[in-house]
């Protein structure tokens, strides 16, 4: 089988894994929130459909591994060199950690939140170009693959810590409380649920417009000045798959679809957003906010209560101490892995690629901030006995820092990591 056939096979395997994960999530929802059939008791119903969901998740994981290795063989390089490959690999290792933690703790309910996170990450990966991109000389090192894969594995453990921490909060926060503290906790948790629904809105927007084949194309002019003061201008075509509320800075329309009457972009992306494909990402974020807010509003109208309170009822029979333990153990395992991958191995690679171990590149700085945050988490947990709700909030906030490091830095700031779109 030639290289192109393997790349095509890998893309097909990616899509099959995505749909298997979606199907698994549906069965997880049936197991915990669906109607019981044949008068089965709740425990039998949950165990039966959770097992079906887990088997589907395992099938998706096997297919996901098939994607990874066929793309590796077809491209002759570790498939973590651009944002599509990195986010796809991130989803893979999150599923690996989920399987490990499920095997250890026998907590089937982890899938109810892990599968949506994996689906969201794979959907985000699909936004980026899927073509194999040759590595530039600075990236042709075995240390790149080691650095990226270890950092992603550490982030995957942090993701499971976040999931267990969020489940803990949904389980223990009193949605019927009337004290100021209870009301405050409820509002903050509902805000977290709102942001998760915004991400679901992102998936809906992406797949709806890709399903109808929508495209908008812009001609972007880039002006640069070299060390001698010579000004040069280059042109680049930028393609959107969502209607352009924000077009690229200093660009001209080439072709724009007519959905929603948008014959031209409403606004121009701010010039200070200098990250890779910042305009397209910002446009996607705005669409996610719009569709997610609409979806949240519809859910509130249908449920007539905070969405978090509904999830609280689903999780009310879980053992909060076990959720706290899962979150802590995941972070304890992930921290040394992240330390090796995102800091130590990253510095070795940086010295080989650029001749220095540390250069205050934005992604390096935020990787250090992430490490310091989880260092503080472990310090407070071990020396100050921060357990339960305090630790759960830290695990949730920590993963927000992780996602900003992975995505937000590339959106706002241009740096040495921008061309790779990875770590």
- Do residues 171 and 323 make contact, with C-beta atoms less than 8 angstroms apart? yes
**3-state SS assignment for residue 40:** coil
pTM of the model: 0.79
pLDDT of residue 207: 75
Structure letter (DSSP) for residue 404: I
Is the CB of residue 138 less than 8 Å from the CB of residue 355? no
Pairwise CA distance, residues 224 & 62, whole Å:
46
Torsion angle in degrees (nearest 10) through CA of 226, 231, 237, 242: 80
Beta bridge partners of 233: 223
- Do residues 225 and 231 make contact, with C-beta atoms less than 8 angstroms apart? yes
- Rounded Cα–Cα distance for residues 38 and 250 (Å): 63
The helix or strand, by DSSP H or E, that contains position 224, with its residue range, turns out to be strand 216-225
The confidence score (pLDDT) of residue 406 equals: 77
Closest CA to 4 of 71, 51, 54, 68: 71
Residue pair 220/253 in contact (Cβ under 8 Å)? The answer is no
Q: List phi, psi (to 5°) of 254.
A: -110, -55
pLDDT of residue 410: 64
Domain-wise residue ranges, the chain: 3-175+307-412, 199-305
3-state secondary structure of 357: coil
Q: Residue 188 is encoded by which pair of tokens?
A: 């903050």
DSSP 175: T
- Return averaged pLDDT per consecutive 10 residues of the chain, 423 residues in all: 83 93 88 57 70 92 95 85 85 91 81 87 80 71 82 91 91 84 87 84 77 78 67 74 80 64 73 70 83 91 87 81 90 94 87 79 87 94 84 92 78 50 38
Q: Can you tell me the distance from the alpha carbon of 128 to that of 108, in angstroms, rounded to the nearest whole number?
A: 32
Torsion angles phi and psi, residue 239, rounded to 5: -110, 130
Predicted confidence at residue 225, as pLDDT, reads 64
CA distance 81 to 3: 17
Which pLDDT score, from 0 to 100, does residue 200 have? 79
How many CB atoms sit inside 10 A of residue 33's CB?
A: 13
Write down the pLDDT at residue 227.
62
């Amino acid at each position: 089988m030639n290289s192109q056939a393997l790349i095509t096979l890998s893309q097909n395997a990616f899509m099959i894994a995505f749909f298997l994960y979606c199907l698994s999530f549906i069965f997880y929802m049936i197991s915990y929130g669906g109607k019981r059939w044949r008068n089965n008791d709740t425990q039998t119903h949950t165990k039966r459909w959770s097992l079906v969901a887990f088997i589907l998740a395992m099938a998706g994981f096997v297919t996901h591994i098939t994607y990874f290795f066929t793309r590796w063989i077809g491209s002759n390089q570790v498939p973590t060199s651009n944002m599509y490959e990195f986010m796809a690999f991130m989803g893979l290792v999150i599923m690996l950690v989920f399987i490990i933690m499920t095997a250890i703790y026998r907590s089937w309910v982890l899938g109810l939140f892990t599968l949506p996170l994996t689906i969201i990450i794979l959907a985000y990966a699909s936004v980026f170009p899927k073509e194999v991109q040759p590595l530039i000389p600075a990236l042709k090192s075995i240390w790149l693959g080691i650095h990226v894969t270890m950092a992603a594995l550490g982030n995957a453990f942090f993701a499971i810590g976040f999931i267990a921490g969020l489940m803990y909060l949904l389980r223990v926060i009193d949605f019927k409380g009337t004290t100021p503290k209870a009301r405050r906790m409820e509002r903050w948790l509902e805000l977290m649920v709102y942001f998760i629904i915004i991400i679901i809105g992102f998936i809906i927007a992406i797949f709806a417009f890709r399903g109808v084949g929508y495209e908008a194309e812009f001609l972007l002019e880039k002006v640069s000045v070299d060390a001698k003061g010579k000004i040069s201008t280059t042109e680049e075509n930028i393609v959107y798959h969502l209607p352009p509320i924000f077009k690229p800075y200093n660009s001209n329309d080439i072709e724009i679809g007519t959905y929603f009457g948008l014959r031209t972009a409403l606004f121009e992306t701010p010039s200070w957003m200098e990250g890779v494909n910042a305009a397209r990402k910002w446009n996607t974020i705005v669409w996610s906010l719009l569709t997610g807010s609409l979806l949240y509003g519809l859910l509130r109208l249908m449920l007539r209560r905070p969405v978090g309170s509904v999830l609280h009822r689903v999780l009310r029979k879980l053992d909060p101490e076990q959720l706290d333990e899962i979150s802590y153990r995941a972070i304890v395992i992930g921290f040394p892995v992240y330390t090796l991958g995102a800091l130590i191995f990253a510095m070795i690679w940086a010295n080989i690629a650029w001749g220095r171990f540390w250069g205050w590149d934005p992604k390096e700085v935020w990787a250090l901030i992430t490490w310091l945050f989880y260092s503080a988490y472990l310090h407070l947990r071990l020396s100050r006995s921060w357990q339960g709700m305090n630790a759960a909030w830290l695990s949730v906030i920590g993963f927000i820092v992780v996602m900003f490091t992975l995505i937000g830095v590339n959106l706002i700031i241009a740096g040495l990591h921008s061309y790779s779109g990875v770590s």
